[in-house]
Amino acid sequence: MKLRFDEGTEAFRAEFLQWLELNRPSVEEMADDPARSSGHSPGWTRAWTRRMFDSGWLVPGWPPHLGGRNAGPLETLVYLEELNRAEVPRTTNPQGLGIVAPSLVDYGTEEQVEQYAMGLLRGELTACLGMSEPDAGSDLASLKTRAVIDGDRFVINGQKVWTSGAGYADFCFLFCRTDPDAPKHRGISIVLLPLNTEGVTVRPLREIIHPDYPDLSEVFLDDVVVPVSNLVGELNDGWKMAGGSLAHERSMVWLMSVMGVESAMAELLETAPGMMASLSPREQVIAADDIVGFYVETQCARALGYRGFARFVKGGNAPEQALMKMYASELRRELGRVTAQWHGGGALAVSEGRRSSLGLIEDYFATFGSTISAGSSEIQRNIIAERILNLPRG
Amino acid sequence: MDLELNDDQIDLRDNVRAVLARECPASVVRGVYESTGDASALRKQMVELGWPALGIPEEYGGLGMGFVEVGILAEELGRVSAPTPLLATVSQFVPLLVEVLRSAPTSKTGELLSEVATGARTGSLALAEKGRWSPDSVNTTASGEGDSVTVTGTKTDVLAGAEVDSFAVVARPTGPAHPADADRSDGLGVYLVERADAEVTASKVIDPALGLADVSFDRAPAKPLLTGDADGEIARAVEQAVVAMALHTVGACRRIFEVTLEYAKVREQYDRKIGSFQALKHRFADMYLAVEKANAICYFAALAVAEDDPRRREACHVAKVASGDCQSLLAEEGLQLHGGIGYTWENDLHFLLKRAKVADVLCGSASWHRARLADLLGLTVEVAP
Ligand SMILES: Cc1cc2nc3c(=O)[nH]c(=O)nc-3n(C[C@H](O)[C@H](O)[C@H](O)COP(=O)(O)OP(=O)(O)OC[C@H]3O[C@@H](n4cnc5c(N)ncnc54)[C@H](O)[C@@H]3O)c2cc1C
């Protein structure tokens, strides 16, 4: 056990900080042209991604030709810490950089890597993930979108829903059924679908907040034709890759969620004196108890997350990772709910743009994005109980 | 930053756990609860293994291990709800002596530590008064000088108070400060009082295996260990007591979790294992999270103490709150999910439930530490005069 990072890791941090200082996008350019969706990359993000790629800071753990510098996991950890501290987004297309690109690097053909993965890494393209369907949410393996092989092409029919960023993304990492007779986990394949292909209709889905900035979409697929060369990995092997691609960077994903909670907590503490000043002494006592409770939980989340990461670095299995998705997302939700309760009438406002700030009821609703998507809290509890604690299924 | 135990620490934990599983089965705890046995064999074994010497510096015959290792021992003792003065000795008595020694190196304190290391002496911290573990609440006084110092006052809920040989008593000096510490301002002092010189009343409490006692001193002869202003040393020792008690709580909770989980895998109702009901599965997931997160933050606090990190004070409060919250959930769910069998005296579960509850109260409950954290975070309410 050690509280500090070793010198090498700290030197890495210092090197990154120096680079970040000189190369980061400015607060003004980020504010002037915010991303309109998780599939949208305004000019500054494209340039920023490219700068990171060229300097080996985009995916530090990867080799230089993929935008990295062969960094170790601890180095990647401090890199993410510093980006978070500087309030600079690593990308505005997290599913593209975090899931689609690594999956293509692992399973894609040379052409797919060159055309699609490198496009994402150089900031030229954005991607979305087409998994969920109206009747296949938590039970993703029951998806019905059908891809039929016809010579050297796939003909695809079906519908996706809740597809983040589809309204702006260039292509979709599409999960389709390619063998309807196989058991449901064994007949799924992944196909790369450029969203400007004929037969693709993307219809924005207005969300619970910020309805003018929909990020989610429904994607309708009517006799959509893509070449067979767009198949990722083996035919009917999609489920295994789904495990792979979602597991990709999972350790980094929960780290980001811990950092998200920490940022919110820091904001809460920063604004606490002002908030307290508007309360009566008795109210202050109750508010202080709430704040202390969240402070303790935030410290716990950090300790648990970092311990899990230490196990992961040592190559052990880290059950903490399974807990973190549920814990961090629910903690952030509660923090949003209670903070809003202390903001009086100020909590009711609707903000301009896509961002909500802590203390608004709007922010509280926004937090459900994390407790529902990518395996809901209930599904996480099932996984913990059945796969970690080995409780009997049924 | 590495918040995972290292290989040596994991070995220590596994060894301690194996010994305690063998030497401290529930039957030993039951013997103490029912006054049909004592835990003397267990104590002898612990001394033979050198456990009292764990955190004592090597120059005083100790093993010179750090506070994380002390924390491991505290956690494992909680796991078996051990009846032993060892927790008091290693997590309260020794830390205070070591802090005292660091500020005022005297042969007296060094000798005391050497005696603890060999197992010849056990001790506890006599701090709390009227059930409050705060130095602010200390009304016990010390008076006299040199060889004629005496201590007067009443300490409550002294850990292993009915069993230890001596007490490190926190008291407020009256009269002139000790000459050797003439430059120190008036504050709390630390005094050694032998149990034989105190009036010890074993407390009739829900967990009799902790040996809790109220200890009264009526002009009891005392050896001053640090007088003048020992507030800083006392605070640092109390931090260690707090974290060790937090880990002790979590140790009991982890065991509650394990036995409840085992039970859910064998107990059948409606022709299926009760652990297959999703309503229970989700509760197990939440219990698991509660134990893991409390464990992680408690070791963070232990590490902050071991490395003397500036975050140590705050981390101690956070750890005690987290361990208290953990036991709230685990004691409740552990009992509920056992059904009727858990409600019986004959089942061993209640030793753990009671240990978890009592350990939450000792050294300040979660609620008390929440209030301290509110102060530290600057959330204190200004009350108009
Ligand atoms: C903000 C956001 C972004 C998203 N982005 C994407 C995306 O980019 N691409 C994509 O493919 N999908 C995306 N999704 C979809 C998301 O993955 C699904 O919403 C999620 O998997 C849940 O599926 P569902 O909505 O159909 O709910 P359902 O599966 O119908 O679940 C409804 C309720 O039942 C519970 N439930 C279901 N099964 C069980 C069970 N076995 N045990 C206990 N409880 C159960 C759920 O937890 C939930 O509370 C996104 C969703 C959101 C909210």
pLDDT over 90 at A130, yes or no: yes
Structure tokens at A88: 């600079």
Split at pLDDT 50, 70, 90, the class of B145 is confident
| CA nearest neighbour of B195 among B157, B168, B173 | B168
Going by alpha carbons, the residue nearest to atom 23 of ligand 1 is A137
CB contact residues (below 8 A), chain A span 290-329, against chain B: 291-293, 295-296, 299-301, 303-304, 306-307, 310-311, 314, 319-320, 323, 326-327
Structure tokens at A360: 């608004």
Round to whole Å and give the CA distance between A355 and A371: 18
Split at pLDDT 50, 70, 90, the class of A253 is confident
Query: Does the domain spanning B123-228 belong to CATH 2.40.110.10?
Result: yes
Round to whole Å and give the CA distance between A244 and A3: 32
Atom of ligand 1 nearest to the CA of A38: 8
Query: What pLDDT is attached to residue A318?
Result: 64
Compute, in degrees rounded to 10, the torsion defined by CA atoms A238, A242, A243, A246: 170
Tell me the β-bridge partners of A217: A204
Query: Does the domain spanning A127-236 belong to CATH 2.40.110.10?
Result: yes
Round to whole Å and give the CA distance between A197 and A182: 28
What tens digit of pLDDT does each residue of B37-83 get? 989 999 999 999 999 999 999 999 999 999 999 999 999 999 999 99
How many helices and strands, by DSSP H and E, does chain A display? 15, 8
Query: What pLDDT is attached to residue B147?
Result: 82
CATH of domain A252-388: 1.20.140.10
Disruptive mutation site among A389, A390, A393 for chain B (greatest number of B CBs within 10 Å): A389
Round to whole Å and give the CA distance between A33 and B321: 44
Instruction: State mean pLDDT over A348-371.
Output: 93
Query: What pLDDT is attached to residue A250?
Result: 60
Structure tokens at B271: 């022709």
A269/B contact by beta carbon, under 8 A: yes
What tens digit of pLDDT does each residue of B324-350 get? 999 999 999 999 999 999 999 999 999
The DSSP element (H or E) to which B324 belongs, if any, is: helix B312-338
Domain B233-376 class, CATH top level: mainly alpha
Atom of ligand 1 nearest to the CA of A375: 21
| CB-neighbour burial class of residue A313 (10 A; exposed 0-12, middle 13-18, buried 19+) | middle
B181 CA → ligand 1 middle, Å? 68
At the topology level of CATH, where does A7-92 sit?
Answer: Butyryl-Coa Dehydrogenase, subunit A; domain 1 (1.10.540)
pLDDT over 80 at A240, yes or no: yes
Residues 6+ apart with CB under 8 A from A10: A4, A78
For the four alpha carbons of A307, A311, A314 and A315, in that order, the dihedral sign comes to negative
Tell me the β-bridge partners of B201: B214
A374 CA → ligand 1 middle, Å? 7
Query: What pLDDT is attached to residue B382?
Result: 65
Structure tokens at A162: 């809740």
CB contact residues (below 8 A), chain A span 353-392, against chain B: 378, 380-382, 384-386, 388-392
Query: What pLDDT is attached to residue A246?
Result: 61
CB under 8 A, 24+ apart: contacts of A347-350: A350/A209
Strands (E), chain B: 123-126, 141-143, 150-158, 166-173, 189-194, 199-202, 213-221, 223-226, 268-269, 272-273
3 state DSSP class of A197: coil
Query: What pLDDT is attached to residue A374?
Result: 86
Please give the DSSP secondary-structure letter assigned to residue A135.
T
Structure tokens at B188: 């709390």
Split at pLDDT 50, 70, 90, the class of A97 is very high
The DSSP element (H or E) to which B69 belongs, if any, is: helix B67-79
Contact B284, A385 (CB under 8 A): yes
Integer angstrom CA distances of residue B77 from B17, B33, B197, B300: 8, 16, 29, 19
| CB-neighbour burial class of residue B37 (10 A; exposed 0-12, middle 13-18, buried 19+) | middle
Pairing mode, if any, of strands A231-232 and B272-273? unpaired
Tell me the β-bridge partners of A172: A128, A193
| CA nearest neighbour of B310 among A330, A92, A4, A217 | A4
Going by alpha carbons, the residue nearest to atom 31 of ligand 1 is A138
Structure tokens at B246: 């937090």
Give the number of other Cβ atoms within 10 Å of residue A4's Cβ. Answer: 11
| CA nearest neighbour of B173 among B145, B131, B137 | B145
Highest mean pLDDT among A23-27, A71-75, B1-5, B101-105: A23-27
Pairing mode, if any, of strands A127-130 and B213-221? unpaired
Question: In this complex, do B3 and A307 lie within 8 Å of one another by their Cβ atoms?
Answer: yes
pTM: 0.95
Question: In this complex, do A314 and B379 lie within 8 Å of one another by their Cβ atoms?
Answer: no
A382 CA → ligand 1 middle, Å? 14
| CA nearest neighbour of B191 among B211, B214, B213, B215 | B215
Query: What pLDDT is attached to residue A152?
Result: 97
Round to whole Å and give the CA distance between A88 and A57: 13
Query: What pLDDT is attached to residue B363?
Result: 98
Mean of the per-residue pLDDT values for chain B?
Answer: 95
| CA nearest neighbour of A211 among A15, A373, A365 | A365
Atom of ligand 1 nearest to the CA of A132: 11
- Chain A nearest-CA distance from B13, in A, is 14
CATH code 1.20.140.10 region(s) in chain B: 233-376
Question: In this complex, do A392 and B273 lie within 8 Å of one another by their Cβ atoms?
Answer: yes
A94 CA → ligand 1 middle, Å? 18
Instruction: State mean pLDDT over B85-93.
Output: 98
Query: What pLDDT is attached to residue B146?
Result: 80
Round to whole Å and give the CA distance between B249 and B312: 19
Tell me the β-bridge partners of B143: B150
Contact B84, B39 (CB under 8 A): yes
Instruction: State mean pLDDT over A309-326.
Output: 78
Disruptive mutation site among A1, A311, A321 for chain B (greatest number of B CBs within 10 Å): A1
B211 CA → ligand 1 middle, Å? 53
Integer angstrom CA distances of residue B368 from A196, B140, B320: 62, 22, 9
Tell me the β-bridge partners of B191: B169, B224
Round to whole Å and give the CA distance between A292 and A296: 6
**In the A/B pair of chains, how many CB contacts fall below 8 A?**
147
Pocket of ligand 1 (CB under 6 A): A 95, 128-132, 137-138, 162-164, 216, 369, 372-374, 376, 378-379, 382
pLDDT over 60 at B180, yes or no: no
Q: Phi-psi region for residue B57, left (φ > 0), alpha (ψ -120 to 50) or beta? A: beta
The domain limits of chain A are 7-92, 127-236, 252-388
Split at pLDDT 50, 70, 90, the class of B176 is low
Round to whole Å and give the CA distance between A178 and A231: 11
Structure tokens at B337: 């999910």
Going by alpha carbons, the residue nearest to atom 25 of ligand 1 is A137
Question: In this complex, do B315 and A299 lie within 8 Å of one another by their Cβ atoms?
Answer: yes
CB contact residues (below 8 A), chain A span 1-20, against chain B: 1-5
Best CATH choice for the domain B7-117 from the list 1.10.3720.10, 2.40.50.140, 3.90.1150.10, 1.10.540.10: 1.10.540.10
Round to whole Å and give the CA distance between B186 and B258: 50
Contact A82, A50 (CB under 8 A): no
Contact A289, A270 (CB under 8 A): no
Atom of ligand 1 nearest to the CA of A136: 26
A289/B contact by beta carbon, under 8 A: yes
The ipTM (two decimal places) reads 0.95
Q: Which residues of A are catalytic?
A: 249
Distance of CA B355 to the CA centre of its chain: 11
Query: What pLDDT is attached to residue A247?
Result: 61
Round to whole Å and give the CA distance between B165 and B155: 16
Count Cα neighbours of B276 within 13 Å in the Cβ-side half-sphere.
Answer: 11
Query: What pLDDT is attached to residue A35?
Result: 94
Going by alpha carbons, the residue nearest to atom 38 of ligand 1 is A138
Residue for token pair 């010890």: B200
What tens digit of pLDDT does each residue of A131-143 get? 999 999 999 999 9
Query: What pLDDT is attached to residue A271?
Result: 92
Instruction: State mean pLDDT over B352-362.
Output: 98
Pairing mode, if any, of strands A217-227 and A153-160? antiparallel
Give the number of other Cβ atoms within 10 Å of residue B346's Cβ. Answer: 7
